[in-house]
Amino acid sequence: MKSYLEDLNIHPEVLNLKKELIFLRREIHKYPELLYDLPKTSQLVKTYLRTLGLEVHSKVGVSGVVGVLRGEGPCVLLRADMDALPIEETANLEYKSAYPGKMHACGHDAHVAMLLVAAKVLVGLKDRIKGSVKFLFQPAEEGGHGANAMIQDKTYPVLSASPIVEEVYAVHVTNSIPIGDFLAAEEFASANSAYFHIDLKQKLEEANCVYVGAQVISSIQNISSLVPPEYTMVLSTTVFQGNPEFCKVGGTIRNYEEQVKETLYKNLKNICKGVEATFGVEANVWFEEFYSPTVNDPVCTAKASNAFTKVVSKAKRHRDSPLIGEDFCYFTKEKPGCFLMLGCATEEKNHPIHSKKFELEEEALLIGCSYWVQLVEDLLIR
């Protein structure tokens, strides 16, 4: 097998733990669990952190787990999400999902494994660390607002519970860029993620809701021309179903700036008013909002980028803002931080996340895990 570890500064202890790192990722991959229902994954994380001698808080935000490496000085939070997706895995792997219709198609299994092993390495450095680290393992990133649940947890509010968090960081794997590269956006690390729903109901007997729905879709396609070209956005129709008496039109909205979202919402409402006045139907639009944009702090992003390039000296930093939804936004609303994407793509393994064929080049785990260790060394070892 081709090695991607040449000319890299993989932390020696991470390299020593390579088999353990891969074993953990594969074990989690075999047993994918959804949203907050994570009994097996949460138990694995809790047990592993306790064997390291860390202070452990479980059932945070229903099923989240936090390990605390406590010391005198500032506190940083490192986040890994744990939940999988309701997707049937088709990749032919020896550690393929054992649960039909469930799959770690977003790489959260890798996130957990990398952070667990990084915690193990950092425990070995605890006498040199001048501060605290919260290793946070989060449920329900895939549309369940798990980050907010952990922040708002009354028994252990992760940001404000002692030690109080000062900065927040997350890593997410991606096959959109090559292994060894990383994406650290200048500002928006993820997009506003929302869905629109338009219900058309016949008022006049001669009105045909299917015809009106087609007119609505045509009008939606023109909305993008009302947004200045310097702004990035997606407004895509994904649902069209019904009959002459009742019809549904729906789709997705992705953008960054609040004023762009307001423009899109306003024009969708105007389309509904227009078809009501013209075609003898009742038209109601409503919006389902998931995540607001994750905003990278420039100082934290510089720290993260510097740490990554210490691990991969030839790494290319990608700076574009991805049109993804991500609930790390709840953390960056409260504290400065950086959401960094870890390139994993190879010629053989390049299917995108959320694909039933998604595969991960496991040597990338060593890069991500070493990045975590390097970042904490940079932040807290003086």
The pair phi, psi for residue 226, each rounded to 5°, is -85, -10
- Environment class of residue 315 by beta-carbon count within 10 Å: exposed (0-12), middle (13-18) or buried (19+)? buried
Least Cα distance to 22 among 375, 363, 382 occurs for: 363
- Which among 48, 291, 330, 371 is annotated as catalytic? 291
What's the CA gap between 269 and 140, in Å, rounded?
31
Q: Strand 132-138 to strand 75-81: parallel, antiparallel, or no bridges (unpaired)?
A: parallel
- Which among 166, 245, 362, 377 is annotated as catalytic? 362
Concatenated DSSP letters of 102-148: -B--SSHHHHHHHHHHHHHHHHTTTTTB-SEEEEEEES-TTTS-HHH
Helices 108-123, 39-51: inter-axial angle, 10-degree rounding:
10
Token pair for 259: 């004023």
3-state secondary structure 263-282: HHHHHHHHHHHHHHHHHCEE
What's the CA gap between 81 and 328, in Å, rounded?
9
Least Cα distance to 114 among 315, 310, 374, 382 occurs for: 374
Reduced to 3 states, what is the DSSP secondary structure of residue 221? Answer: helix
Least Cα distance to 112 among 164, 54, 170, 183 occurs for: 170
Helices 258-279, 209-223: inter-axial angle, 10-degree rounding:
150
Residue 351: DSSP 8-state = P
What's the CA gap between 188 and 35, in Å, rounded?
25
Annotation marks residue 141 as catalytic: no
Q: 21 with 113: CB under 8 angstroms?
A: yes
Annotation marks residue 362 as catalytic: yes
Positions marked catalytic: 291, 362
